[in-house]
């Protein structure tokens, strides 16, 4: 019997998807900066285009470097397959593309990244899709929102702008009863802290731009498929469980089984929408993922200490960090994120909107920018930036009210992070 060890997370984050290059012996993953690939002969080309064999045709669909990233992501999330895209937003559209048709609905949590709310509220209707928003703090709200038009639930495991933990298992049971997939954005938690598939998620999304890359240098997104959903059972998903006209009536679920969604994402989604991830960005992300576990340990340890400091500061009205015993999501954090509550969270300033604008100009070590998940500590005032397009009511519902400041705590010396926040908070007085 061949020895088949079950590798740990740290080992998979370094080795999954990236064996030595068979043609050169290169131990580092090559960057396959090419648009197309030579076919062996006419029969090989025909088999590739008919989806009768697996291989590379054109880099809009597949590429060896991006395929390595897909394999690593699937391994870390415990999924069956993956599709990488140009950005997290591109991944969201690509994820819903085979599930939705004009007139269909996706039930979404109200507490999401502001850009996601904007995309769902104002862009999806141009496709004929409708997003129905519910408060995920009560999972039963998803059951109440289900209609015959519902095709998916969409939540974030650890919601952006931060501090909100979603009860994945409870919502997954409701999705299963409704016969629809549960889509979970796991960007802020990463698979190191949370693996939504183990709690019932059908699809897991990432903005690989954030913690997975970890350097703030490379855009990317990803969809990881659990391979556990029966796309033919209800008749609601003809793109996956019905005849595909672009491939002479091929039924993806009948043909590819638990890889149906992954094959469709490449053969139809990337082919027709074209949001492919650049090989160089995939390569940089692969490098970043090698240190994911180490970075997340430091991110979480630092964030816990910063949150404890802020909770006691006189200029701070409240802190929403699930790692604090006083936080209402603390029990859910212990259940879903036992290794740490992440490093992105929010706090409120007693001085309101004006104080929020002032503090981002007062910090020195922190970088004021619209990103998270960098090794560097980052700060932003969502009401005046990332959530600016929303109404006052929508901002409050999304956890981005006028007094809110969002932090993405980096891996610097925590004493320096605390000192920088302290001097900026003192200046508010």
- The tens digit of pLDDT for each residue in 366-403 reads 999 989 999 999 999 988 887 777 777 877 777 778 89
Mean pLDDT of 231-244: 96
CA distance 230 to 94: 19
- The tens digit of pLDDT for each residue in 304-345 reads 999 999 999 999 999 999 999 999 999 999 999 999 999 999
CATH class of domain segment(s) 9-288: alpha beta
DSSP string, 65-122: HHHHHHHHHHHHHT-SEEEEESSHHHHHHHHHTTT--TT-EEEEESSS-HHHHHIIII
pLDDT, position 17 = 95
Shared fold status for 9-288 and 293-428: no
CA distance 155 to 359: 30
pLDDT, position 336 = 98
- The tens digit of pLDDT for each residue in 261-307 reads 999 999 999 999 999 999 999 999 999 999 999 999 999 999 999 99
CA distance 317 to 267: 51
Taking CA atoms, 397 is separated from 136, 137, 177, 383, 387, in Å, by 11, 12, 27, 12, 11
Mean pLDDT of 224-239: 97
Q: Quick one: how far is CA 362 from the chain centroid?
A: 31
**Element (DSSP H or E) covering residue 357:** helix 352-362
Could you identify the residue written with the tokens 């043909």? 255
Say what percent of the chain tops pLDDT 90: 88
Question: Residue 43 is encoded by which pair of tokens?
Answer: 């029969």
CA distance 394 to 383: 10
DSSP string, 294-327: HHHHHHHHHHHHHHHHHHT-TTEEEEE-TTSTTS
CA distance 182 to 422: 41
The structural domains of the chain, with segments of one domain joined by +, span 9-288, 293-428
Question: Residue 61 is encoded by which pair of tokens?
Answer: 């669909």
Q: Higher model confidence: residue 269 or residue 113?
A: 269
CATH fold label, 293-428 = 3.90.1150
């Amino acid at each position: 019997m061949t020895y088949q060890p079950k590798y740990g997370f740290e080992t998979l984050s370094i080795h999954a998807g990236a064996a030595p290059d068979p043609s050169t012996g290169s131990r580092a993953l090559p960057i396959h900066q090419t648009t197309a690939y030579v076919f062996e002969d006419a029969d090989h080309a025909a088999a590739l285009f008919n989806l009768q064999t697996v291989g590379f045709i054109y880099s809009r669909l597949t590429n060896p470097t991006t395929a390595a990233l897909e394999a690593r992501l699937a391994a870390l999330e415990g999924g069956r397959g993956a599709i990488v895209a140009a950005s997290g937003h591109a991944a969201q559209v690509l994820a819903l593309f085979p599930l939705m048709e004009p007139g269909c609905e996706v039930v979404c949590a109200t507490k999401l990244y502001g850009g996601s709310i904007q995309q769902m509220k104002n862009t999806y209707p141009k496709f004929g899709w409708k997003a129905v928003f519910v408060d995920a703090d009560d999972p039963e709200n998803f059951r109440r929102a289900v209609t015959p038009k519902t095709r998916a639930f969409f939540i974030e495991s650890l919601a952006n702008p931060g501090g909100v933990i979603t009860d994945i298992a409870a919502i997954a049971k409701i999705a299963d009863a409704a016969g629809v997939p549960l889509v979970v954005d796991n960007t802020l938690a990463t698979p190191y802290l949370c693996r939504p598939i183990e709690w019932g998620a059908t699809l897991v999304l990432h903005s690989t731009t954030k913690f997975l890359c970890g350097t703030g240098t490379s855009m990317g997104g990803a969809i990881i498929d659990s391979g556990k959903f029966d796309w033919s059972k209800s008749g609601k998903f003809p793109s996956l469980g019905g005849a595909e006209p672009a491939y002479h009536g091929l039924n993806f679920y009948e043909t590819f089984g638990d890889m149906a969604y992954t094959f469709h994402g490449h053969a139809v989604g990337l082919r027709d929408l074209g949001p492919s991830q650049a090989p160089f960005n995939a390569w940089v992300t692969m490098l970043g993922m090698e240190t994911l576990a180490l970075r997340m340990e430091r991110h979480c340890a630092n964030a816990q200490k910063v949150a404890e400091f802020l909770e006691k500061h006189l200029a701070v009205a409240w802190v929403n960090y699930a790692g604090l015993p006083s936080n209402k999501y603390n029990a859910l954090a212990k259940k879903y994120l036992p290794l740490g509550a992440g490093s992105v969270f929010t706090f409120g300033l007693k001085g309101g909107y004006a104080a929020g604008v002032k503090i981002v100009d007062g910090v020195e070590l922190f970088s004021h920018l619209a990103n998270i998940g960098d090794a560097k500590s980052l700060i932003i005032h969502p009401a005046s930036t990332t959530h600016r397009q929303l109404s006052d009511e929508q901002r409050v519902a999304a956890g981005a009210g006028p007094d809110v400041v969002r932090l993405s705590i980096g891996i610097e010396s925590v004493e320096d992070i605390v000192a920088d926040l302290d001097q900026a908070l003192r200046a508010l007085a």
